[in-house]
Amino acid sequence: METLSTPLISLPRYPNPTSLTVDNGHRDHLVFSLISQCSTIKQLKQIHAHMLRIGLFFDPYSASKLFKASSLSSFSSLEYARKVFDHIPQPNLYTFNTLIRVYSSSSEPIQSVKIFLEMLYESPYYPSKFTYPFLIKAAAGLSRLHVGQVFHGMVIKSSLADDIFILNSLIHFYTSCGDLDMAYRVFVMIDKKDVVSWNSIISGFVQGGRFEMALELFREMEVANVKPNDVTMVGLLSACAKKKDLELGSWVCSYIEKNEIKMDLTMSNAMLDMYVKCGSLEDAKRLFDKIEEKDIISWTTMIDGYAKLGEYDAARCVLDAVPKQEIAIWNALISAYEQNGKPKEALAVFRELQLSKNVNPDEVTFVSTLSACAQLGAMDVGEQIHANIKNQGVKFNCYLTTSLIDMYSKCGNLEKALEVFYSVKRRDVFVWSAMIAGLAMYGKGKAAIDLFFRMQEAKVKPNAVTFTNVLCACSHTGLVEEGRMFFNQMEPVYGVVPGFKHYACMVDILGRAGLLEEAAELIEKMPITPSASVWGALLGACKIHNNVELAEQACSRLLELEPENHGALVLLSNIYAKTGKWDNVSELRKRMRVSGLKKEPGSSSIEVNGIIHKFLAADNSHPLCKEIYSKLDEIMARLKSLGYVPNKSHLLQLVEEEDIQEQALNLHSEKLAIAFGLISANPSQPIRIVKNLRVCGDCHSVAKLISRLYDREILLRDRYRFHHFSGGQCSCMDYW
């Protein structure tokens, strides 16, 4: 973006050819009336040429008429307007103000500031009450607090300090820069506040998340006898939606009715949004049916509402009822599925969209579907989507690049992820961070750190996400020194304050390396209250190093924060089992049974020819179930002949008979998925599996052996990282 320090382009103004301006009122009048009748830029340009010929253009007032048409009419063109402006020998105040105004709502608000400076230094005019509101609006568009503050200072020094338009624009400016206190100070200083003043300050507090204050101001507004309008009410509805306060929201709705406030589509949509966010779908539906001309916002709000409550059939009905199919409607349903842990359904809707051929998927569709593929490990589908993006000629922006890198890394194809990364020209902080995360997942800690430093060379500033990923890389590779260094540098060197995720990573790094004392000390010294994830990291480390005492502490602290966290109890019971404390195991199991806490069932998915097959432990539901189990028997027999002994300490449950215990181990979902992969996947391709929990030690050693015995690469993504099995080894070097 251009900055204020860029030198002003100063075009030489023509000398003022006053001699050319013949005072001819009648002729001028004719030209002005022609300008007002213009309906295209072409016609305007003809008049422009004529005005140049007869010298009328050199009269500032006449030129301002032409300029107004070029910049404010229905066929206006900012580019042309700027050219006209640059050729006017002596633009008058009106012309300056108009250009400042036009630029203030353009994509280049900085130009307003530049024109303003030109006006100050190169014209005889002083800024007027028509200059400041737009200049301040431009500063809001730039989100530069200090720029607006300068204008505010100039206003105070001028004689315009009590102009309500300027003061209202200052309120808007300060709220949009997040300085609510200053906005409020300007607001209270206004003598006769109008409805715009009230609306600006109320919507400012809503956007700043201070809903109580917004509602309090509304009450004050009533006391002050200023009649609220539709803008006020939309702001209030938004406050109720964000507060999830249905009672208040309903009151606002009845207030609107009672006071006969203008009820247009924007208002209806705001009401709809309030009902949906407050979880009252019945009210939403009732209102929705009453809206005569629904727009895309009305439809997507309803779809979103149903999907959030898990009422997917109802959401689907809404989609089917839309009269004009638009991609945003489909996106609403796809992303609702994707974000609520239903990636398979998201992809099914996407497939339907492709078959219907009514509308083309857009960037938003691709980002959601790629994320669904990443969740499922559905690389074939992901690759097809990648091809679609290219075929459709969709421009690669940083969102899409990030999604592609994430999809390929999570589906087990690091090379492809790297290929995407190196093929793009523009890389923002999210693109870099996604690639660092990809390398981290594969245990390529050194490469991830290397990329972090190259990101610095590329002058991209790391953010909190980058540091989570870098620390994750250190933890997966056991890089304790490096982890400590990054963690200690985060705030002083990079200005990123460590949050829960960073502490959890650091506890993980120290804990895994056996530095349990140091990890516990770090938690004690945390300036923020430790979150469940931090205690979870310590608990996980205790399991690796069999530290029962510390594990009990961590577990009880974790349960204080998340009483429903059954994963913690499972981990603790595993620690008891591992250290032979069977009494404690059964006691814990009893407790879990009483409180109804159940272990999250383990499941593994594998994609074969674009179809996802999902297995639970001891699953009998697959059509090829018989073949899978006989393959599994064959594998186990071959492994045993090689001297493999099942590792029983990975069993959670205490089972009496030897063989049952052994069998339960054999029936873990990832083993079933691997057996299925060996039967059905293309032998030249690696077997790619996604497991929802952490892989157990026995499955890990079995996968290693299979990779050697059957000469197959196996890529297994568990909840924490990737395991790439090949030739009897795993990429994690047994560090997980």
Of 581 and 694, the one with the shorter C-beta distance to Zn ion is 694
Please identify, using beta-carbon distances, which residue of 607 and 698 lies nearer to Zn ion.
698
Told to check if 723 binds Zn ion by CB under 5 A, we report yes
Tell me how far apart the alpha carbons of residues 490 and 484 are, in angstroms, rounded to a whole number: 10
Residue 715's beta-bridge partner residues? 688, 724
Q: How far is the CB of 377 from Zn ion (least distance, A)?
A: 16
- Name residues contacting Zn ion, limited to 311-340 (CB under 5 A): none
Q: 185 and 197 in contact (C-beta within 8 Å)?
A: no
Q: Are 192 and 165 in contact (CB under 8 A)?
A: no
474 binds Zn ion (CB under 5 A): no
* Nearest distance, CB of residue 617 and Zn ion, angstroms: 8
- Taking the complex as a whole, the smallest distance from the CB of residue 414 to Zn ion amounts, in Å, to 15
Q: Choose, by CB under 5 A, the member of 699, 706, 714, 715 that binds Zn ion.
A: 699
Smallest gap from Cβ 508 to Zn ion, in A, equals 16
CB 565 to Zn ion: min, Å? 22
Distance in angstroms (rounded) separating the CA atoms of residues 687 and 689: 7
3-state secondary structure of 434: helix
* Least distance in angstroms from the C-beta of 730 to Zn ion: 3
Residue 367 C-beta: closest distance to Zn ion, Å? 30
- Minimum CB distance to Zn ion, residue 634 (Å): 18
CB-nearer residue toward Zn ion: 152 or 723: 723
Sequence letter at residue 91? P
CB of residue 734 to Zn ion, shortest distance in Å: 6
The C-alpha atoms of residue 288 and residue 553 are separated, in whole angstroms, by 52
- The count of chain residues that interact with Zn ion, using the rule CB under 5 A, is 6
Cα separation, 644 vs 137, whole angstroms: 73
**Phi (first) and psi of residue 714, to 5 degrees:** -125, 130
Of 51-59, 112-120, 325-333, 726-734, the window that binds Zn ion (rule: CB under 5 A) is: 726-734
The interface region with Zn ion, picked from 22-30, 526-534, 592-600, 698-706 by CB under 5 A, is 698-706
Residue 319: left if φ>0, alpha if ψ -120 to 50, beta else—which one? alpha
Tokens 């609006």 correspond to what residue?
Answer: 137
Only one residue has tokens 């205690």, namely: 535
Residue type, 438: G
* Least distance in angstroms from the C-beta of 202 to Zn ion: 56
**Would you say 247 or 659 has its CB closer to Zn ion?**
659
Q: Nearer to Zn ion by C-beta: 274 or 730? A: 730
What are the start-end ranges of the H helices in 564-624? 566-578, 582-594
User: Which helix H or strand E contains 492, and what residues bound it?
Assistant: helix 480-494
Please report, for the chain, how many H helices and E strands are present, in that order.
38, 6
Between 515 and 699, CB nearer to Zn ion:
699
Q: Which is nearer to Zn ion, 99 or 690 (CB)?
A: 690
- Closer to Zn ion at the Cβ: 427 or 668? 668
Pick between residue 249 and residue 443 the one whose CB is nearest to Zn ion.
443
Output 437 or 730, the one with its CB closest to Zn ion.
730
Residue 30 token pair: 């004719």
The tokens for 379 are: 């690389």
Binding-site member from 696, 706, 714, 715 for Zn ion (CB under 5 A): 696
Q: Which is nearer to Zn ion, 97 or 707 (CB)?
A: 707
β-sheet with 687-691: strand ranges across: 611-616, 603-608, 687-691, 714-717, 722-726, 729-730
Residue 466 has a CB neighbour count (10 Å cut-off) of 25
Binding pattern for the stretch 633-672 against Zn ion, x by CB under 5 A and - elsewhere: -----------------------------------x----
- Return d(Cα 369, Cα 382) in angstroms, integer: 8
Q: Quickly count: other Cβ atoms within 10 Å of residue 87's Cβ.
A: 17
| Piece of the chain touching Zn ion by CB under 5 A; list 55-63, 396-404, 509-517, 690-698 | 690-698
Q: Is 704 in the site for Zn ion (CB under 5 A)?
A: no
Closest CA to 500 of 530, 536, 466: 530
Residue 732 interacts with Zn ion (CB under 5 A): yes or no: yes
Min CB(714)–Zn ion separation in Å: 10
List the Cα angle 186/190/193 in 5-degree steps. 120
Contact between 632 and Zn ion per CB under 5 A: no
Where on the chain is the footprint of Zn ion (CB under 5 A)?
A: 668, 696, 699, 723, 730, 732
